[in-house]
Chains A and B, each alone.
Chain A
Amino acid sequence: MAEVRIEGLTKYFGDTCAVNQLNLVVNDGDLVVLLGPSGCGKTTTMRCVAGLERPTYGDIYIGETRVNDLEPRERDVALVFQSYALYPHFTAFDNIAYPLRLRKTPKDEIERRVRDVAEMLGITHTLERPPGLCSGGEQQRIALGRAIVREPVVFLMDEPLSNIDALLRVYMRAEIKRLQHELGTTMIYVTHDQVEGMTMADQIAVMNQGTLQQLGTPTEIYDMPANNFVARFVGSTPMNFIPGALQKENGKTVHKSDQFVIPVSTEMADRAAELCPGGVCTLGVRPEEIRFSMDDEGTNQARVFLLEPLGSETILDIEKEGLLLKVKDVAATQVREGDVLSLSFNRFHLFDDETGAAIR
């Protein structure tokens, strides 16, 4: 077990910069999720840690050792590939046993450890089969078994759940988290699925275009996004954005847009005056933070044009003068399509239009 320290990691492929000056510390025993859209550099970062790519600049430390010049086999990391990369000509048993064989582990110990791991993952019945005859979920667990069996210092997971069906994915993400807790091994987990990131991570590192956008616990990332990219990316129903500017009205600061006038607290107004002197900023509010009433004659009124029932809740699609808002309501909503609602905004964020950074 060890801490992983990435310092100023930069990786170029030709002229393309895949990772740009990334600094990241993964504490010993933590599960850190690298989260971001495709092409954001998260997989490249992980491959650099595994030793499958050589950093253009920067250093990577595993424990106290600088591993830049070490071969993958010398780093004692285990990697679960998105494609699983199982050895098709081996049986499941041989797949799991292979790393142990390479370390010249005694035969009876290999037998014991492979059986233990297979039992832990519930794949004992597949051991004599080649991976081609196993289901997707079983293959996925064989790949996990191959990583677990050698007790590496760091686990690296490259979107391991993206190729299995939705039901199994929900089950497996809990399973992986439980395993990681049980084993206490440091894990770097790459995914583009923000739900996976939120549910599994001790810390989430949100990446975009090769740079780290924010590092924090899932709650921090959700509640206090550092910029509008993080705010937009995290959250299963995305955050609503209302472009506008801060203005004084009757001595109070409000965020005024073409559609709404939203009062801003004094502290926030003070911070905004400091950080965003022009006052041009976008207001971001999560769907569950918009309150509404049907009878009130408030200022911020808008019409519901679509209901999206999800079973456990209903999403109200609200439109006003070209601006679309999504609002969460209970499943048994009283609202009907065409109703006019009066909205109030409970908790919201302001993002500087120039830099995209959150004002707080």
Chain B
Amino acid sequence: MTVQQTVSPLPGQGASSANSVTTQPPPPQGMWSELFSFRDNRLGVILIVPSLLALILVQFYPIVYNFWLILTSEKGEWIGLANLSRLTRDTIFHGALIFSLKMGIVVVPMCLLVGLGLALLVHSDYAGRKAIWISILIIPLMVSEIVAGMMWKIMYHPTLGLVNVPLTALGLEPIIWLVKADTAFIALCVVEVWRISPLAFLLLYAGLNQVPRDIYEAAAVDGATRWRAFWDMTLPYIRPMFAIATILVFVWSTRTIGTIAATTQGGPGRATWNLSWYIYGMSFQRLKPHYASAAVLVMLLMTYIAGTIFVRYLWVERRSR
């Protein structure tokens, strides 16, 4: 270690330290070496080990195991990438993949819109007891997928269901929602929006609460209308929350299985097969878990790519003008 004289650039501190010779600790060697220098962080490392082991067990082991499944056949023979290349020719898989993506594309913006609308309403001065509103609005989050599916199946019932009541009241023919491909898709999207938008609401509401009130006042005095302030102040501020909400809603809506199990069972035909339903059917009904694992990998990749895109375009702070 070198002994050197420190001369503070700050005028206030200069006077006191200029006359004295002080030793200076060596500069840190970089974040990683600091993080992993066991000597300095013994307790920290020891405390981390249990959760690291748990993580390896529940996160990494299944992923590695999944790769092993993909690369072997049902009989345990090494088959390389055969499972994956078979997927590229599997039209049922293609249909399921497209259905999942379609669902994501419809449900994500709907959930964000509904969630943002609710968040703005509850956050506004007009909502009285906010805690009551919040606890009512997040009820769908507490309901399990299967129960939500069952509930909506009853709602969609051609004669007993609530959904058809306004139609028949207007003298229209009741719609048999779950037996036609396109109405079944709409019906499932509605269930998913009902089920997942409270999540978007919660995240965006938390985001709104982070926006300091005084910047709205500053914007109002500076000449911004409420609408303009929403665009210039609120939206940029809750962008990170938007990104998180988008990722979570996308993941939740594309991998849903309970809703499908409780309502359409993938029908009519294979019209409402999504990836999860396909993987479930492939591994537990047709008993081909190795082949299904290849589909799991595709699902993982899809989520990963979508997540990266959302983070890249939504989360990154706007710095340019």
Contacts and interface: CB of A to CB of B under 8 A. Distances in A.
B222 A73 contact: yes
Contacts of B218: 79, 81, 85-87, 146
B215 interface: yes
Residue among B212, B214, B218 facing the most chain A CB atoms (10 A cut-off): B218
Taking residues whose C-beta sits less than 8 angstroms from the other chain, chain B's interface range is 20 to 34
B221 A91 contact: no
B42 interface: no
B214 A83 contact: yes
Given A73-B222, A98-B222, A146-B222, A91 B217 contact: no
A83 to B, nearest CB: 5
B319 A91 contact: yes
Contacts of A50: 221
Interface in B200-255: 212, 214-215, 217-225, 228, 232-233, 236-237
A69 to B, nearest CB: 15
Nearest to A77: B221
Contacts of B221: 50-52, 72-73, 77-79
Contacts of B223: 73, 99, 102-103, 150
Contacts of B220: 51-52, 71-73
A355 to B, nearest CB: 38
A312 to B, nearest CB: 20
A93 interface: yes
Nearest to A89: B236
B318 A89 contact: yes
A81 B222 contact: no
Interface in B283-308: none
Contact of A94 (B212, B228, B321): B321
A123 B215 CA distance: 21
B185 to A, nearest CB: 38
Contacts of B317: 89
Nearest to A82: B214
B214 A85 contact: yes
B319 A102 contact: no
Contact of A81 (B217, B225, B236, B237): B217
A299 B137 CA distance: 80
Interface string A201-220: 00000000000000000000
Contacts of B233: 87
Contact of B228 (A86, A102, A130, A146): A102
B321 A73 contact: no
Nearest to B321: A94
Contacts of B212: 83, 85
Given A73-B221, A102-B222, A87 B215 contact: yes
A72 B220 CA distance: 6
A129 to B, nearest CB: 10
Contacts of A81: 214, 217-218
A44 B214 CA distance: 14
B319 A99 contact: no
Interface in A65-119: 71-73, 77-79, 81, 83, 85-91, 93-94, 97-99, 102-103
A190 to B, nearest CB: 14
A99 B321 CA distance: 15
A98 B216 CA distance: 13
Contacts of A91: 319, 321
A148 to B, nearest CB: 12
Contacts of B236: 89
A73 B232 CA distance: 15
A78 B224 CA distance: 13
Contacts of A85: 212, 214-215, 217-218
A78 B237 CA distance: 23
A52 B317 CA distance: 30
A76 to B, nearest CB: 9
A79 B218 CA distance: 7
Given A85-B215, A85-B218, A86-B218, 14 more contacts: A52-B220, A73-B223, A73-B225, A77-B221, A79-B218, A83-B214, A85-B214, A87-B218, A89-B317, A98-B224, A102-B222, A103-B223, A146-B218, A150-B222
17 contacts: A52-B220, A73-B221, A73-B222, A73-B225, A81-B218, A85-B212, A85-B218, A86-B215, A87-B219, A88-B215, A89-B318, A90-B321, A98-B224, A102-B228, A103-B223, A130-B319, A150-B223
- Ranked nearest first, the 9 interchain pairs of A and B with the lowest CB-CB distance are A85-B214, A85-B218, A102-B223, A99-B222, A73-B223, A72-B220, A79-B221, A89-B236, A72-B221
